[in-house]
């Protein structure tokens, strides 16, 4: 069976794996991400590691290389990837020249979206349209339409964390705008909201999202309210995305999704009130299933899809 | 030169035309829309009229039929079109069987989007990704990605009029939800807002959007404020759409767009504040250029694209 060499390029490590056409991960390894000197050593580090492993499995078995990158990609070019210091790095071309294999690049959220579409659940492979939402430090998004990741005219498609939302105060986002979805709907956003509500009520300041969830479950009114308004803002924005792209499934991943039903149940209920009425009962929402492997699998999917 | 037989099916008339591959409209005519008996006579009326005209231009010149329909389409099927009373009408199949020509259906806003992409301005044919927004009684939307209209998993893509927005009161939308974009951003929404602001201030109640614009231009503070908040809500929602699909161009049509710069200038300025920063300076916004011909031209484009 043909293998894809799949890469998930992150700010601290570069995860790599060989993935079969059946989605099975054959082996997995990682190398540290060397962000020194604007990350200029990263491409050579990746190629060196891949070359060594490809020799081990046999070059004739490897159909191509796929990589998810934490930034904006345009063909084989990484336009910008702030966390690793890149601007205009031709990673795709470099890998192709060095390894003699086709290399497909994806934004990391798009890679995760494709991975969840491909391997996220039994029968998931039949889906063609999907929104992947990642709720972590920020809010990321990947959109798949007709089985293809939507990259956008300026490599900005799926930047749903920066959808302007109506907030009750002005929160400046890392992107420079005010009241982006991720200012309220991310793990950081939830914690900030919960801390503000606790301060207003004179109750103990929560130190983590875990604490917000556990106190809400135990009946803490402010924590429950923080969770409620956070789910409402998320559902409203995702509802708007549904009115725009009308996908079959919404998949929620990232650290906040580890709360499971405590997050997913209110989010799903609120979302149903915000989608276009003709969509009700005709889309699904679920928690992401693949965790950290989603990006690797999506990168592999892209290799098999485009060869 | 090959011709497309193009149809723009509306609630009062069915506009039809032959369109050349160069986008020139060779002739144009219309028949009344017979909405009696749940619109059951409409398909036969269309076929009768087309058959007659096709015989005049020569059947061998006609490459196919394209139709924009005011509702949700799924392949050749019209799932629902409220204004003409249709639910589950196989217009595409009927036309193909009766005329022996391929028939492509589109939602009307998608047809207009394709028309504006194809013929909306000199050089517009080079665009591949576009959002068409129509501001009339309601707010409609059509999204083109990679040269293809986005229909969605449930034929609801581009329903941007139903994006939930933060309003200052609860406005019930015709779709049953509360505070949809079109409750505030349509011509009706603007007029309602302006009337409310006038009532609060004790000034004369405006009777039309034209009056709102003319009084705002003459320095009426309430009318100016109504225009400002309407543009802000529109820009915020369109900014969210841009963060989601990242198109190259936003085209604004519909009755409200006839106000020209009085609408477009504040809308464009506000939109620039709401898009993802990496998009600034890399997308365009313009007033629609084709008026009522946009749908006809988009339907023709679809014929030539898919044959």
Provide the ipTM.
Answer: 0.95
pLDDT tens-place string over residues A258-286: 999 999 999 999 999 999 999 999 999 99
Q: What is the pLDDT of residue A180?
A: 97
With a cut of 80, say whether residue A204 has pLDDT above it.
yes
Q: Residue A88: pLDDT above 80? A: yes
How far apart (Å, rounded) are the C-alpha atoms in residues B159 and B76? 20
Answer whether residue B123 shows pLDDT above 90: no
Q: Tell whether B241 is within 8 A of chain A (Cβ).
A: yes
pTM of the model: 0.95
Of A135, A133, A140, A158, nearest in space to A148 by CA? A158
Average pLDDT over every residue of B268-290? 97
- Is A276 in contact with B175 (Cβ distance < 8 A)? yes
| Partner-chain contact A278 B239, CB within 8 Å | no
Closest CA to B151 of B302, B34, B307, B304: B302
User: Which regions of chain B does DSSP assign to beta strands (E)?
Assistant: 3-9, 13-20, 25-32, 62-69, 72-74, 77-81, 86-89, 103-107, 130-135, 139-145, 148-149, 249-253, 284-287
Q: How far is CA B83 from CA A278, B12, B115, B175, B293, in A?
A: 16, 9, 22, 13, 20
pLDDT > 90: what percent of chain B? Answer: 94
Cβ distance A282 to B141 less than 8 Å, yes or no, reads no
| C-alpha distance from A286 to closest chain B C-alpha (Å) | 17
Q: Kindly tell me if the per-residue pLDDT of A19 is higher than 80.
A: yes
Do A70 and A8 contact (CB within 8 A), yes or no?
no
Cβ contact (<8 Å) for B164 and A248? Answer: no
- Work out the pLDDT band at B127, boundaries 50, 70, 90: confident
Which of A111-125, B125-139, B172-186 shows the highest mean pLDDT?
Answer: B172-186
A143 CB neighbours in chain B (<8 A) are 244-245
**B124 pLDDT tier (thresholds 50, 70, 90):** low
- Tokens 């949809």 found at: B180
């Amino acid at each position: 069976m043909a293998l894809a060499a799949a890469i998930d390029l992150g700010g601290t490590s570069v995860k790599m794996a060989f993935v079969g056409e059946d989605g099975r991960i054959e082996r997995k390894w990682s190398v540290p991400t060397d962000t020194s000197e604007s990350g200029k050593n990263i491409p050579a580090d990746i190629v060196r590691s891949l070359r060594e492993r490809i020799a081990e499995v046999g070059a004739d078995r490897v159909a191509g290389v796929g990589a998810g990158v934490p930034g904006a990609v345009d063909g084989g070019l990484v336009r910008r990837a702030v966390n690793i210091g890149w601007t205009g790095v031709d990673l795709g071309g470099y890998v192709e020249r060095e390894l003699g294999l086709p290399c497909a690049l994806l934004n990391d959220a798009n890679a995760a979206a494709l991975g969840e579409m491909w391997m996220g659940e039994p029968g998931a492979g039949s889906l063609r349209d999907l929104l992947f939402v990642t709720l972590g430090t920020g809010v990321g998004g990947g959109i798949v339409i007709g089985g293809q990741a939507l990259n956008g005219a300026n490599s900005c498609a799926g930047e749903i964390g920066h959808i302007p939302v109506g907030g009750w105060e002005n929160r400046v986002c890392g992107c420079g705008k005010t009241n982006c979805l991720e200012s309220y709907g991310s793990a950081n956003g939830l914690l900030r909201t919960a801390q503000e509500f606790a301060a207003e009520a004179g109750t103990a300041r929560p130190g983590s999202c875990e604490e917000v969830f556990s106190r809400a479950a135990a009946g803490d009114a402010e924590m429950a309210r923080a969770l409620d308004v956070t789910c409402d803002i998320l559902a409203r924005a995702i509802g708007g995305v549904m009115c725009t792209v009308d996908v079959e499934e919404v998949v929620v991943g990232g650290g906040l999704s580890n709360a499971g039903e405590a997050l997913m149940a209110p989010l799903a209920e609120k979302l149903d009130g915000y989608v276009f009425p003709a969509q009700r009962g005709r889309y699904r929402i679920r928690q992401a299933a693949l965790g950290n492997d989603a990006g690797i699998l999506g990168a592999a999917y892209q290799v098999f899809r485009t060869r």
